[in-house]
Amino acid sequence: MNNHCIELAGGSKSTGIVLGRGTAKVCVQTSDGEPREVSLDNVLYIPSYRQNIFSVLAATEKGATVNFTPTSAELVAPNGTSRTTFDISRSGKLYYLNSVVNNTGDSHSIKEWHEILGHCNVKDVIKLETVVEGMKISGKSDFSCDVCTMGKMTQSFSRHSDVRATKPLELVHCDLCGPIQPVAKDGFKYAISFVDGFSSATTVYFLRQQQ
């Protein structure tokens, strides 16, 4: 796909911009305002293009017929089984189809809007639909969010000691603090504490140096 060359009627050529190929279904509006779903085969996926490009050459090679007027285009299916007229506009050497209907637009499920809005709470997301122009919520069913669940979880700690002393000085806890600012009058910069694990007796010593 990287070697596929795209040439437009305007004369521009691009290579290496096609990322995929497949079948696409789009909803278009005819000149009389009626929506119609059209299935397009061998569609090229080019996300860098801002507009959807329709290849007349590809359509005619499939047996279809395309008739142009200054303001409309008529697409005739192979063997004349159906005819559809669309409104178009011309810019330079390119024709633009003005009647492509965006079925989704800004419509997403409540879960998708929740994620788009940085995991905003559901009640506020629903309120936004009435004040944000173009925002549509397609589904409001309950859902679970693993990210929110994990973010609200608290870390648990074991409050039970793994080892308990059975006699004095069998287990002594030690902690060193410093350097302390300002330095004490006698030049002490550190404080070291010893706690007996059996009797909880605590002794604190002051040190001028760490070693």
Residue 184's domain spans which residues? 172-207
Residues 63 and 12 in one domain: yes
Q: Please say whether the beta carbons of 128 and 135 come within 8 A.
A: yes
Residues 95 and 114 in one domain: no
CB neighbour list of residue 173: distance below 8 Å, 6 or more residues apart: 194, 195, 197
Residues 188 and 142 in one domain: no
Residues 93 and 177 in one domain: no
Q: Regarding beta strands 107-108 and 136-137, do their DSSP bridges make them parallel or antiparallel, or are they unpaired?
A: parallel
Alpha helical stretches, state H, 62-197: 110-116, 122-128, 146-151
- What does the pLDDT look like over 150-188, one tens digit per residue? 888 777 776 666 677 888 888 888 999 888 888 887 888
- What does the pLDDT look like over 88-130, one tens digit per residue? 777 777 777 665 555 545 578 888 888 888 888 888 888 888 8
Residues 80 and 116 in one domain: no
For residue 161, being part of any structural domain is answered with no
For residue 57, being part of any structural domain is answered with yes
Residue 153, CB-side half-sphere exposure with 13 Å CA sphere:
9
Number of domains in the chain: 3
- What does the pLDDT look like over 47-76, one tens digit per residue? 777 667 777 777 788 888 888 887 777 878
Residues 199 and 140 in one domain: no
Confidence of residue 30 (pLDDT cuts 50, 70, 90): low
Q: Please say whether the beta carbons of 177 and 143 come within 8 A.
A: no
Residues 26 and 79 in one domain: yes
For residue 192, being part of any structural domain is answered with yes
Q: What is the pLDDT of residue 202?
A: 92
Residues 37 and 117 in one domain: no
Q: Please say whether the beta carbons of 99 and 128 come within 8 A.
A: no
pTM recorded for the entire structure: 0.38
